[in-house]
Amino acid sequence: MNEKNQLEIDTKSCMIRRYQERDCEALIDLFYDTVHSVNARDYSLKQRNAWATGKEDCKQWHQSFLAHETYVATINDKVVGFGDIDQTGYLDRLFVHKDYQGQGIATALCNQLERFIQSNIMTDASITAKSFFEKRGYQVLQEQKVARLGVYLTNFKMEKRRSFFE
């Protein structure tokens, strides 16, 4: 199997592949649904509505996905997760469908994204995702209050320092 195009993970027939334009709407829907369900334990409805409005611009997201190294996780052709990282090592988005949490999908996506970068990796992790990144060796640099549509959300500037020998 060609590693650049598709990687098989675990026994649940989940496939990791590169982003394609036809994925954009499904990724936006997954983002919205994940923020409004999985992140509900850490963020108020007002915060979640500001973070994921349901009015995300598909054209803008598509351009962002193309500019980044972007991977999509599927099970039986259903999109169950995605993540993207830019050339500087900024891990921008990492989301897994609410019904597929805890099955190794985020780990598989993150493994693939981290392979793309040889230097340190930065991310702005939600309260919900903070422990996931800490388990992967990311360290909190600072807690942040980020304004979205006039509403403040807490997240964490995190960094994974890469050793020369990794």
Distances, alpha carbon 82 to alpha carbons 88, 94, 105, 146, in Å: 19, 6, 9, 23
Per-residue pLDDT reduced to its tens digit, 50-105: 999 999 999 999 999 999 999 999 999 999 999 999 999 999 999 999 999 999 99
Identify the pLDDT of residue 162: 84
d(CA 115, CA 151): 35
Q: Would the pTM count as exceeding 0.75? A: yes
Domains defined for the chain, CATH in brackets? 6-117 (3.40.630.30)
Q: Indicate the SS3 state at residue 3.
A: coil
pLDDT per residue over 19-39, tens digit each?
Answer: 999 999 999 999 999 999 999
Instruction: Give 107-149 pLDDT, tens digit per residue.
Output: 999 999 999 898 999 999 999 999 999 999 999 999 999 999 9
